[in-house]
Amino acid sequence: MQVVTTRAELATARARLRQVGLVPTMGYLHEGHLSLVRAARAQNEAVVVSIFVNPTQFGAGEDFETYPRDTERDLQLLADAGVDLVWMPQVHDVYPPGASTSVLVSGLTDVLEGAHRPGHFTGVATVVAILLNATRADRAYFGQKDAQQVLVVRRMVDDLAIPTTIVTVPTHREGDGLAMSSRNVYLDEQQRPHATVLVQALTAASRAWSGGERDADRLRAAMTHVLAAEPLAQPDYVSVADPQTLAELSTIDPARGALCSLAVRFGRTRLIDNVVLSAADQSAVDSPAEQPDGKARHT
């Protein structure tokens, strides 16, 4: 496994690789990241992983400085997983001095995470565009846990004619159902057992959907009811939205389904999760927003 930092080093290393699958990360890797690596390994001749804690996607008062980092452990996990190339740039390698270009994806970024974290998705779209162009990836792999991020990236790739296929991989979960996240480490011993309320709320919506419920307000109410029973949980939002536009729904069209998502705070720790309610009745909490061939649906 080769590790490079600069764009020039990356270009030289990339020239020796064919059919590249990229897994963009911010490090502090867990099994969820490794599931993306395995998916990339299965579909490509070479796997490239980027490790970069992107400052432009963190807002004022967010956890950029304290975001968990463990480079030595990350590199060992990636070597064990058979990764070919790791790009670990510094900020100036991603954003050269004088850089003044950013990518704004309108509409999809105005709601949910975008409404609660202004500027977040501009940072995400900009860095992902740089990563895709710098690595010239044939495919790039993202987790379903960040469903809105996947939609934003797909929209950007389509709009800018970036020749990379975006692949969505199912959310990887702990044994008790909590979606794996680098931020789970922030939960203290008291908070951690109660964090499963996110998946419990989504399961309540899934069961209602499977039982024939198509009223979006009732699904929101089902999730809100579960969250309200957990005193440590402080919801930012509870959403039942169109799975492509993220417009909030009143009645769900069975042919289009819906994306149920939520963001919940436990003290200073903020967690997100979602479930796709599909026409095929994919009501399990880890249902991926992808086609049977593993490729993400395009808007």
Annotated binding residue 211: no
Annotated binding residue 181: yes
Annotated binding residue 239: no
Annotated binding residue 88: no
Annotated binding residue 36: no
Annotated binding residue 283: no
- Structure token digits, residue 230: 């957990």
Is residue 180 within 8 Å of residue 272, measured between CB atoms?
Answer: no
Q: How many residues does the chain have?
A: 299
Is residue 150 within 8 Å of residue 142, measured between CB atoms?
Answer: yes
The dihedrals phi and psi of 60, each to the nearest 5 degrees, come to: -60, 130
Q: Is 172 a catalytic residue?
A: no
How far apart CA 86 and CA 141 sit, in angstroms, is 15
- CA quadruple 178, 165, 279, 249: dihedral sign: positive
DSSP state of 55: G
Annotated binding residue 223: no
How far apart CA 142 and CA 37 sit, in angstroms, is 10
Of 33, 172, 194, 298, which residue is the catalytic one? 33
Annotated binding residue 100: no
Annotated binding residue 149: yes
Q: Parallel, antiparallel, or unpaired: how do β-strands 165-169 and 85-87 relate?
A: unpaired
Annotated binding residue 141: no
Annotated binding residue 26: yes
Annotated binding residue 230: no
How far apart CA 175 and CA 94 sit, in angstroms, is 36
Place of tokens 């963190």: 58
The residues assigned a catalytic role are 33
> Which residues are known binding-site members for ATP?
26-33, 143-146, 180-183
Q: Which residues are annotated as a binding site?
A: 26-33, 57, 143-146, 149, 180-183
Q: Mark the binding-site residues for beta-alanine, compressed into ranges.
A: 57
